[in-house]
Amino acid sequence: RLVKIKKILPLKERYNNSFFEKPRLLDVGCAYGPLLSAATEQGFDALGLDISQGAVAYVNEELKLKAFQADFEQIDNSAIQPQSLDVLTMWFVIEHIQKLDVVLKRVNRLLKKGGVFAFSTPNGSGISAFKDLNGFLKAAPSDHFFIWRPVIVKRILDKYGLALKKIYITGHHPERFFRAGQQKNPGSFLSAKIRLFSRIAGLGDTFETIAVKNRELAENE
């Protein structure tokens, strides 16, 4: 994930040396800090945010990394300085957000121009939804408030001054193409063919998005 993000960052932010400050990254929903650890190792000034006090305590005390407890939907505007972030990430978080308008405006406000917004989420156009949409929706956790599909991402992000750069379809599971009780051996030739088809057709059950802030929002937006 970080390799993909670094490819999009402005050239000066890709390299950690004495001439440039470290690119600043905020991971919303950092959990127990796997991305923060990787980002720190790769030269980012990484900060985490999570609603779980236990997760934040682990990051602070065990990993010795920076994180604080907060709900990104409700944080005070003074918690993080505007236009101070080079990267803002949400890995399987955005589907839990109720106030999407508020959050995407905040993403724009916190990112520098040219900064990267990256997120992953379940795919409402993946094989599970394609096979049985009602079943897919019923199986979704009760705190999933928005089902994303790759086809709608660009239109939504454009509204918030975020230009879509790349979508990666992930979560390819050949066994989900079969009915219950008919799953094939994941290592079989047929499964390999189905996995390839899933990649070509974009039928993975999750996807990752990378976008770049290309403009400030007007006060009335």
Question: Is 218 part of a structural domain of the chain?
Answer: no
pLDDT digits (tens, 9 = 90+) for 46-95: 999 999 999 999 999 999 999 999 999 988 877 899 999 999 999 999 99
pTM of structure:
0.88
For 10-14, 16-20, 103-107, 162-166, which range has the lowest pLDDT when averaged over its residues?
Answer: 16-20
Q: Which domain holds residue 49?
A: 2-213
Question: Is 221 part of a structural domain of the chain?
Answer: no
Question: Is 55 part of a structural domain of the chain?
Answer: yes
CATH number at residue 12: 3.40.50.150
User: What are the percentages of helix, strand and coil residues in the chain, rounded to 5?
Assistant: 35, 25, 40
Alpha helix positions (H), 17-149: 34-41, 53-61, 100-110, 127-131, 133-139
Distance CA 66, CA 204 (A): 33
Question: Is 9 part of a structural domain of the chain?
Answer: yes
Question: Is 123 part of a structural domain of the chain?
Answer: yes
pLDDT at 2 over 90: no
* CB atoms near residue 81 (< 10 Å): 11
* Residue 9 binned pLDDT confidence (cut-offs 50, 70, 90): confident
Question: Is 219 part of a structural domain of the chain?
Answer: no
Question: Is 85 part of a structural domain of the chain?
Answer: yes
pLDDT at 18 over 50: no
- Name the domain count of the chain: 1
Strands 66-69 and 85-91, by their bridges, are unpaired
Rounded to the nearest 10°, the torsion over CA 192, 177, 125, 104 is -70
pLDDT at 99 over 70: yes
